[in-house]
A and B are shown apart, each in its own frame.
Chain A
Amino acid sequence: MFDRIVAHLREPVRIDPALDERVMAEIAALRAPAPALLRRFLPLAGLAAAAAVLAVVFVARPRAPTIRELQFVLVAPQAATVSLVGDFNDWDAARTPMRPLRSDGPVWSAVVPLAPGRYHYAFLVNGSRWLADPAAPTASDDGFGTPSSVVTVSGT
């Protein structure tokens, strides 16, 4: 029995290789504390137009639970206004207006800081039309008449 314990304890443990990046990021911050940049993860909510992603790294000590900045994107060529509405802003359509990535371009975007969790959300176009996110999972139907999408932010 004892041998079995030791054998088990000696088995290799796999640590998330993302640790390397966190270490190096912390070291970089030690050497150059001034610049602060943001990493964004892009849920695939559009087409190749989503290649307008900016990727910048936030240099800090990422500890769980980490706040991640997520970029939400919607292709809506006919829209005059688009709002991002969801669990993360109390379903208040005024809180997170989206902006076109290029002036009068069809791609609308908003960046939201999110703690780990699972969030329902939807887009409100021109104040009256609800759209789910075409490339995100759909939330179970609550009978509200319009579907919502789901985004999951993990803690690691």
Chain B
Amino acid sequence: MSINTVGVSDADLVRRVLAGDTDTYGALVARYRDRLGRYAVHMLGDREEAEEALQDAFVRGYRSLRRCNDPARFGPWLYGILVNRCRTAGARAQRRRQMFVRNEAALNGASLPAPLVDRAEFEDVVRLALARLTPECREAFLLKFVEDLEYEEIARLTGAGVSALKMRVKRAREQLRAILTEAEHV
């Protein structure tokens, strides 16, 4: 991080970029890369695709920076862009391969590794379990439980109503619990 961007607020950085200091956008990228990356990785389940979606989101963020109404809320605004990019990427991936299984019957037939002592296995199981949620449920779950956003904020980002979101999150929790309990007892 450059010496003249440490401690500088997002709003100030955004203003500098809008004033013509393009290089400063890099500081915003560095600031949000890992945080947004976390959402993208868990949402898409594939690091390479996550990085592509992330790169895409950052570039679009730059191109539409003027439309960020409140520079102080650059972060949440960028989140919205990323959520959209992940939806597009997810839809594309679904057409390409059958990673996101939604058929309940098929789910129960698949075996899961046990016991869940090994960290790498646990990560695998969580990733597979997430993959089994519908994209809407997974999205809502990650935004609420991992990114800690309020329902009103999630509603703004996703365009869904608050009660629909609450139902999706509830469903996601139930499914994850069910899948992982099953995994423990195999």
Contact = CB atoms under 8 A, between A and B. Distances in A.
Is B truly associated with A?
Answer: yes
Interface of A: 1-2, 4-6, 8-10, 12-17, 19-20, 22-24, 26-28, 30-31, 63-64
Contacts of A12: 34, 38
Interface string B52-69: 101100110011000000
Interface in B23-51: 23, 25-26, 29-30, 33-34, 37-38, 41-42, 48, 50-51
A23 B29 contact: yes
Contacts of B126: 5, 8-9
B63 A30 contact: yes
A9 B146 contact: yes
B163 interface: no
B88 interface: no
Nearest to B176: A5
Interface stretch (B7-15, B100-108, B153-161, B177-185): B177-185
Given A9-B126, A13-B41, A23 B26 contact: yes
Question: Which secondary structure dominates chain A's binding surface?
Answer: helix
Contact of A5 (B34, B41, B180): B180
B22 A19 contact: no
B22 A27 contact: yes
Given A12-B34, A17-B30, A2 B59 contact: no
Interface of B: 22-23, 25-26, 29-30, 33-34, 37-38, 41-42, 48, 50-52, 54-55, 58-59, 62-63, 122-123, 126, 129, 142, 145-146, 173, 176-177, 180-181, 184
Chain B interface SS verdict (over half): helix
B29 A24 contact: yes
A14 B33 CA distance: 8
Nearest to A26: B59
Contacts of A64: 48
A10 B55 CA distance: 21
Given A12-B34, A23-B59, 5 more contacts: A1-B180, A5-B180, A13-B41, A23-B26, A23-B62
A17 B31 CA distance: 11
B25 A27 contact: yes
Contact of B55 (A8, A19, A28, A31): A19
Contacts of A24: 23, 25-26, 29
Given A8-B123, A63-B52, A1 B22 contact: no
B178 to A, nearest CB: 11
A106 to B, nearest CB: 40
Contacts of A10: 38, 145-146
Contacts of B146: 6, 9-10
Contacts of A20: 26, 29-30, 33
A132 B113 CA distance: 47
Of the candidates A16, A17, A22, the one having the most CB atoms from chain B within 10 angstroms of its own CB is A22
Contacts of B177: 1-2
A19 B29 contact: yes
A78 to B, nearest CB: 46
Contacts of B176: 2, 5
Q: Which of A6, A12, A23, A24 has the most CB of B within 10 A?
A: A23
